[in-house]
């Protein structure tokens, strides 16, 4: 059985910044990152809002599908 490939921290940071730039543009991405460092964040409340109305089964199925579609993050070790 092959072990799952896990991105290192640098790759995760770069991928995240690229995604923010693509979704928000450079100025709004920088503003978003600044907000994360400036204000305390209630991750429980964020999770509640993100997953409101969804079942655990549905979330898990989407995660499995996403995992299967991302060969670059699997099988590295």
Domain ranges of the chain: 9-73
The pLDDT of residue 38 = 83
Find out whether 6 and 76 touch, Cβ atoms under 8 Å: yes
The pLDDT of residue 28 = 92
- Show the CA angle centred on residue 71, arms to residues 66 and 11, nearest 5°: 90
The pLDDT of residue 36 = 81
Number of other residues whose CB lies within 10 A of the CB of residue 37: 7
Q: What is the mean pLDDT of each run of 10 residues along the chain (77 residues)?
A: 66 91 92 84 84 91 82 52
């Amino acid at each position: 059985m092959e072990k799952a490939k896990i991105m290192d921290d640098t790759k995760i940071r770069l991928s995240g910044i690229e995604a923010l730039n693509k979704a928000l543009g450079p100025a709004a991405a920088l503003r978003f990152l600044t907000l994360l460092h400036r204000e305390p964040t209630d991750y429980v409340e964020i999770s509640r809002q993100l997953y409101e109305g969804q079942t655990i089964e549905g979330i898990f199925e989407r995660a499995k599908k996403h995992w299967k579609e991302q060969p670059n993050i699997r099988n590295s070790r």
